[in-house]
Structure 1
Amino acid sequence: MYWLDGALYPDARAPFDLGDRGLTLGDGVFDTALVLNGRAFLAEAHLARLMNALRELGIDADEGSIRQCIGALAAGGERHVLRVTVTRGAGLRGLVPTGVQKPAIFGALSPFTPAFFGPPLAIDVAEIRRNETSPTSRLKTLSYLDAILAMRRAAARGCNEALFLNGAGRVACASIGNLFALYGDELATPPLADGALPGIIRGFLLEQGPALGLHCRERALTLEEFCAADAAFMTNSLRLIAPVERIGAVAIGAKGAKIVEALQDLLRRAIAAECGVEIR
């Protein structure tokens, strides 16, 4: 199901301006959320991040229309992925466009079939580096070519995820999520300044993790430190918490597996409380 200009469409053939800057220049952002039982989990956090990204890029999109898009699509979802895309629109040319913006807002609702907490990840270290000096490293922009290329190489090497180091050689993120490392009762994740996205599940764990007695913090991590963790995992809004089994040929310890399971249970309970449905 798709949403565009206040109307719902059954397929993706809704009218769209082929001169839109999102299509021609990647000039826009998007957000994806998990929809269960007609509700988007952590919807306000998703909306806040999207609106912040739009402000960062100077795209003057109407928040009310974005809320309408989210509400209309989420209402039809039982176990779905909701994606909202916002572009600067059409009619403006050049890298420093002038004139009146007409942002385009559209959304899509797709069935979600994989397991919420899927099989452990085998991660390839990408040759491509994350540019932590670019503000776009902290925004969900429409350009995902680095992730696509990194995942193509990872798949060829028998891996199902890719890890990006930044220009300084520190751990930044995975291709589709944030990375966490556990050391005893310390739960660490790379800071945004190292090229990480402000992930929604990342924020949830940093805020709620102390309830399990964890010291949650952002700190720089070298690849060697990450590989030496008691446990490691990736987070995103669909796969939630995905344990890391190995980085290349290096096995990641399972000493902290019970804590990872406790974090997964914490997330399950939050989803049940907000969406009224239990997940496994």
Structure 2
Amino acid sequence: MLTSSCPFLWLNSDLLPADSPVITAQDRGLLLGDGLFETMQLRNRQASFLDAHLTRLEEGCRILRLPAPSRETVEAALDRLIAANNLTDGSARVTLTRGTGPRGLTPPAKPHTTLLITTAPLPEQPAAPVRLHVSAQRRDPQVVLNRVKSLNTLPAILARMDAREQGADDALWLTPEGEIAEATAANFLALMDGQVVTPPLSTGILPGISRARLLAASLCKERPLTETDIAKLQGAWLVTALSLTPIAAIGSQEIPLQPEQTSRLRHFLYDGQ
């Protein structure tokens, strides 16, 4: 059941109680992870940077050969859901699956997609600093699913479980060549030589919305980073559409916290939208 502060969800074309059994047993998103999602922040009853999120969703649909919902459909559904849940600030998750289909991997020739939208309130406190474990997994830049927010998240789940078993909060992925890529559900930022930097897209990372905004505003620049650079980091963060989280340590290497820089980045990313 979803949080009681958001009593409704959106399914295809209707508002439903949030505790409704909404996904059928034949849905390919449930059975095969055949779908995409986008998570966005809500501010003042509006989805922040909705155009950028829908553009990424549409690109993911193109890659997966999945019919994309119209922007008007998603926008109208969000408006109705936000109003029904009386939510001023929070988050929304748009999930799109290929819908139901016959048994097996081959998708139906004419899929009838499932569109599910849920909302949640914002956490009461900013994310506390985290410790990362360098994952034994490697991020293969050639894997096409790295570029989309796919429902196939088992590698991330396993990496996160491994990290927890090592006493860390999350995992940091490297490429097979040893370049830093990203964490299991967030882009990676670092302070190097007084400059905020982020690994390039060529490392197989998700093209994050917040990451792109920082680059466009010249508050960050792309720079390859390797595992040997971890000892040189002057600060580091995980960034998503919802949060900027300071990194306190990577493995045994303690990372300096940068409260003033953290405050500046958070203000740019999340305040006054």
TM-score range for the pair, normalised by the shorter chain length: 0.7 to 0.9
Is the 8 Å Cα contact of residues 134 and 250 (structure 2) preserved in structure 1? yes
Q: Distance in 1 between matches of 2:61 and 2:51?
A: 15
Amino acid at match of 1:207: A
Q: For 1:66 and 1:92, locate their aligned partners in 2 and report how far apart those are by CA, in whole Å.
A: 27
In the TM superposition, residue 58 of structure 1 has moved relative to its aligned partner by 1.0
Instruction: Report which stretch shifted further, 8-17 or 41-50.
Output: 8-17
Give the whole-Å Cα distance in 2 for the aligned partners of 1:78 and 1:54.
29
Distance verdict in 2 for CA 1:15–1:187, change over 3 Å: closer
CA distance in 2, matches of 1:217, 1:226: 17
Residue 124 of structure 1 contacts residue 247 of structure 1 at CA under 8 Å; is this kept in 2?
yes
- For 2:268, the equivalent position in structure 1 comes to 266
Q: Does residue 72 of structure 2 align to residue 70 of structure 1? A: no
Q: Does 1:169 align with 2:172?
A: no
Cα deviations across residues 98-147 of structure 1 (Å, max 9, x unaligned)? 5212111111112332523x211111111222222111011110011111
One-letter identity of the residue aligned with 1:198: P
Residues in 1 aligned to 2:248 and 2:91: alpha-carbon distance in whole angstroms: 26
Deviation at 1:96, TM superposition (A): 4.4
Shift of 1:38: 1.3
Give 2:222's aligned residue. Answer: 218
Per the normalisation by structure 1, the TM-score is 0.86
Could you tell me whether the CA contact under 8 Å between 1:172 and 1:190 is conserved in 2? yes
Q: Give the structure 2 partner of residue 203 of structure 1.
A: 212
Stretches of structure 2 that go unaligned for 5 or more consecutive residues are 1-7
**Distance of aligned partners of 1:11 and 1:261 in 2 relative to their CA distance in 1, 3 Å threshold:** closer
C-alpha change, 1:43 and 1:227, in structure 2 (3 Å) is: farther
Counterpart AA for 2:99: G
Aligned CA RMSD, in angstroms, stands at 2.0
Of 175-184 and 151-160, more deviation after overlay is shown by 151-160
Aligned pair count? Answer: 263
* Residues 230 and 250 in structure 2, CA contact (< 8 A), matched pair in contact too: no
| Residue identity in the other structure for 1:32 | T
Distance (whole Å) between structure 2 residues aligned to residue 32 and residue 245 of structure 1? 25
Partner amino acid for 1:62? P
**Cα deviations by residue, 1:21-45 (Å, 9 ceiling, x for unpaired):** 1111111100111223312222221
Inter-partner Cα distance in structure 2 for 1:261 and 1:133: 35
Equivalent residue for 1:103?
Answer: 113
TM-score (norm 2): 0.88
Q: Deviations over 1:8-30 (max 9, x none)?
A: 11223244332111111111100
1:73 and 1:82 in contact (8 A); partners too: no
- What's 1:157 paired with? 166
Unaligned stretches of 5+ residues in structure 1: 275-280
Match of 2:94 among 84, 88, 105: 84
In 2, the alpha carbon distance for the partners of 1:136 and 1:114 equals 33
- Residue of structure 2 in register with 1:28 after alignment: 35
Give the secondary-structure state (helix, strand or coil) at the position aligned to 1:143: coil
Does the 8 Å contact 2:190/2:233 carry over to 1?
yes
Structure 2 distance, partners of 1:185, 1:92, is 55
Instruction: Write the letter of the residue equivalent to 2:63.
Output: E
AA in 2 matched with 1:44: D
Change (3 A) 1:92 1:12: same
Residue 126 in structure 1 maps to residue 129 in structure 2: no
